[in-house]
Amino acid sequence: MTVLSDRIGEAAGMIIARQFCRGCRKSDDKRDAGLATPDDVERFDNIAYGSDSVWQVLDLYRPKTAGPGIPVIISVHGGGWVYGTKETYQFYCMDLARRGFAVINYSYRLAPDNRFPAPIEDLNSVIGWLFANADKYGLSTQNVFAVGDSAGAHTLSLYACLCANPDLAACFAQNYGIIPPAGFSFTAVGLNCGKYTAEKELRGLAGGMMRVYLPKEKPADALRLLQVTDHVTGKFPPAFVMTANADFLKDEAPLMKAALEKCGVPCVFRCYGDEQTQLGHVFHCDIRNPAAKVCNDDECAFFHGYLDLTEPSA
């Protein structure tokens, strides 16, 4: 796979990214207007997990009644690699916490200032933080789940491949110095409205986002690594893969499902919405939406089915 001559140029990609960010910010502000921290959730805010005091920070949410050893969900937010913070995902993540999990909601470094593999590095650092601080916050290290949507699903699924594919792990270790904790694998993952393939021709919205995410040096090499479906092995964690009937990335989810099934990975596939209900991209983050409740209940029930009950839990 190569970056073709008719690809989106750097300047055009920047324009697309700026327009995308403005649209997302307006939509997210409207979605979350009037929401507040639930009474049954305790939160620990603005915890550093790296040296960048702006971007490498996380929040932790726990049910107030939870005991030690509570299972964990790490949320990898979407936003085309150019948009989003933990603040834009706080209410969605606290809603997940109410289903019996501690939820790590973190910001990470964004393109174009921080390009591939910055989000992979930051997710690896968050997992390192979890292992270093599990006792302090009463977190399980045996039951570590993760959710990601859109570009966040891409980052999450690529990192899950990195933990399961020795050849990919060697590539990331040698070229980027990224080494996951020894033996680490997610217990299960939720891949929501995700992007799992790289653009052969960097066109349109998805192409513009990917263009400003690619490193300026050797972009074609990075593009090959971004083809998640090429890196799946049988050791990929069990996966809940979902999309929606009006999701502009809905054709991506069946490709990931096929890659998982080819390798014998346990997976559940859902496409939400029907003729009477059109559901768009990342609809599940709108916790006021009845369909989001159904989806998030389904995904968390899938996670509960993979709990390791040999470790004390909530």
In the prediction, which pLDDT does 166 show?
97
How confident is the model at residue 7, as a pLDDT?
Answer: 53
Among residues 101, 179, 104, 92, which one has the least CA distance to residue 143? Answer: 101
Q: What Å distances lie between residue 160 and 85, 87, 147, 180, CA to CA?
A: 21, 25, 11, 10
With beta carbons less than 8 A apart as the criterion, state whether 112 and 50 touch: no
Select from 157, 195, 189, 148 the least CA-distant residue to 302.
189
Report residues of the chain scoring pLDDT below 70.
1-8, 199-207, 311-314
Per-residue pLDDT of 100-155, as tens digits, reads 999 999 999 999 999 999 999 999 999 999 999 999 999 999 999 999 999 999 99
Please tell me the pTM assigned to this model: 0.94
Q: Which residues contact 194 (CB under 8 A, 6 or more apart)?
A: 148, 149, 150, 152, 153, 154, 156, 157, 241, 243, 249, 252, 253, 256
pLDDT of residue 217: 87
Q: Give tens-digit pLDDT for 41-72.
A: 999 999 999 999 999 999 999 999 999 999 99
pLDDT (0 to 100) of residue 201 = 53
Report pLDDT for 195. Answer: 94
The pLDDT value given to residue 3:
44
Helix (H) or strand (E) holding 210, with range, is helix 204-213
Where residue 228 falls (left for φ over 0; alpha for ψ -120 to 50; beta otherwise) is: alpha
CATH 3.30.930.10 fits 10-304, yes or no: no
* Domain map (residue ranges) of the chain: 10-304
